[in-house]
Amino acid sequence: MKLTSEQVNDIALESRLLLTEQELAGATRYINNFLEILDSFKELDLTDVEPFSFAEVLECPLREDKVAAFPDAEAILHESEHVDGSYFKVPRIMEE
């Protein structure tokens, strides 16, 4: 499997990344090299092998349903430059 530079550019745009031509070529090459390594796994018979997700057998830790308000929610709001009152402001999100 290989990605075209257009596909990589689409993903970059969705991630709000503007890549120069050079960066795009580099990213496409990097991703395709990686995909090539993954492709080589196809040679193996993995029929009875469970997908590997975690290096250790861990159990998902659970917490009690208790509210503990974050002490400085306002600081998070003001991490953004685009704030109006208590709202985050983003450019129009609907396509015309």
In sign, the C-alpha dihedral spanning 22, 25, 27, 29 is: negative
* Binding residue for other proteins, selected from 1, 37, 44, 58, defined by CB under 8 A: 58
Asked if residue 5 lies in contact with residue 25, where contact means CB atoms within 8 angstroms, the answer is yes
What element of type H or E holds 29?
A: helix 21-40
The answer to whether the CB of 29 falls within 8 A of the CB of 9 is: no
- Is residue 39 involved in binding other proteins (CB under 8 A)? no
Which range touches other proteins (CB under 8 A), out of 18-26, 27-35, 36-44, 76-84? Answer: 76-84
Residue 87 touching other proteins (CB under 8 A): yes
Instruction: Select the residue interacting with other proteins from 10, 23, 36, 39 (CB under 8 A).
Output: 10
Report if residue 45 touches other proteins, rule: CB under 8 A. Answer: no
